[in-house]
Structure 1
Amino acid sequence: MNNQLHQGLNKEVANLFVLFTKLHHFHWFVEGNQFFILHEKFEELYDEVNELYDQFAERLITIGGKPASKLSDYLKLTTLKETDNLDSNKMVGELLQDLKQLVKEFKELTSVSQELGDEQTADLLISTVSSFEKHIWMFTAFNK
C-alpha cells in the first residue's frame, strides 16, 4: 500500500490515543453544575475512541503498515495538544476543536485511500467522520 496512507493512519492512531487520554482527563477533573452530564458523556466518548484507536491500528497492520505503539511516538505524531485542568466550558471547547481537527484530517485521508482504491479504509474513515460530526453538533448545542 501507499506510504502516505500508512503515515496518515499512523498519525490518526496517535491522535486517537491522545484524545482517549484527554477524555479521561476531562472525565476525572470535570466540575460544576454540568458534572453529571459531562462526566458520563466523556466516558461514553472515550469508550468509542478506544474502539476506534484499535480499529485504526488494526487496519494499518492489515494493509501492511506498522502502527506506533509507544507514548513517545504518539506525542511526536499527534496533531492534538495535551491539556491541563480546565473548567467544563473550556473542556467542551477544546474537545470541539480536537474533533473538528480530526474530521478535517480524516476527510483528507479518505481522499487518499479512495485514490488508492482502498474502500475499506475509506469506509472506516467515513463512518468515524459521521460519528464525530454528530458529537460536534451535540457538544456545540451543549456549549451555547
Structure 2
Amino acid sequence: MNKLEQLLNKEVSNFAVLYTKLHNYHWYVKGPYFFQLHEKFEELYNEATEFYDEFAERILMIGGKPVATLKQSLELATIEEASGLETKDEMIKVIISDYKQINQELLEGLGIAEELDDDVTADLFTTTRASLQKHIWMLSELLK
C-alpha cells in the first residue's frame, strides 16, 4: 500500500468514525439550541457520508482497497468515538477538534498528492478542507 492510499484510508476511517459520532450527538444533544444543533449534526453526518464515499472511491480509482469494516476504521482512525456523555459544548469542541485534526492530515496529503502530480486527489483534499474550515469557524462562533 503506497503512502497516498494509506492517507486516504486513514480519512475513510476518520469519516466512518465521525459519521457515527455525529449521529450520537444528533440523538443525544440536549438543552439550549437543541433544534439548531440537532439539525446541524444531521447536516454534518450527511456530509461525512459523502466524504466517506468520495475518499473510498478515490482509493478504488487509484487501484487501492478502501477500509470497509468498523473494526479496521477504529484501528486506523485518528479521531475517537463519542462517549455519549458529552454536554452540548463538549460536543461542539470535540467536532471542532476532529475537523482540525482531519484538516491537518489533508494538508499533509495535499503535499503528497501534488508530489505525485495527482491533481484529482489534491482537489479532493482541497475541497474537503474548505468545507471543514468553514465548519470550524461556524461551530467556534457557538462557543463565544
State how far apart, in whole Å, the 1-side matches of 2:50 and 2:130 are: 15
Structure 2 distance, partners of 1:65, 1:110, is 18
Specify the alignment match of 2:105 in structure 1.
Answer: 105
Kindly report which structure 2 residues correspond to 1:1-144, keeping only aligned pairs within 5 A, or say none: 3-84=2-83, 85-144=85-144
CA-atom RMSD in angstroms = 0.8
The amino acid of 1:90's aligned partner reads E
Q: Which amino acid aligns with 2:139?
A: F
Structure 2 length-normalised TM: 0.98
> How many pairs are equivalent?
143
Structure 2: distance between partners of 1:80 and 1:53: 14
Q: Aligned equivalents of 1:82 and 1:22: distance in 2?
A: 6
Q: Partner letter of residue 65 of structure 1?
A: G
**SS of 1:86 mapped into structure 2:** coil
Give every structure 1 segment of 4 or more consecutive aligned residues whose post-TM-superposition deviation is greater than 3 Å: none
Higher mean displacement: 78-87 or 133-142:
78-87
User: Structure 1, unaligned stretches of length 5 or more?
Assistant: none
Secondary structure of 1:134's aligned partner:
helix
Q: Which letter does structure 1 place at the counterpart of 2:73?
A: Y
Mapped to 1, the partners of 2:43 and 2:93 lie a distance apart of 17
Shift of 1:39: 0.3
Q: Normalization by structure 1: what TM-score?
A: 0.98
Gaps of 5+ in 2: none
Q: Distance in 1 between matches of 2:79 and 2:93?
A: 14
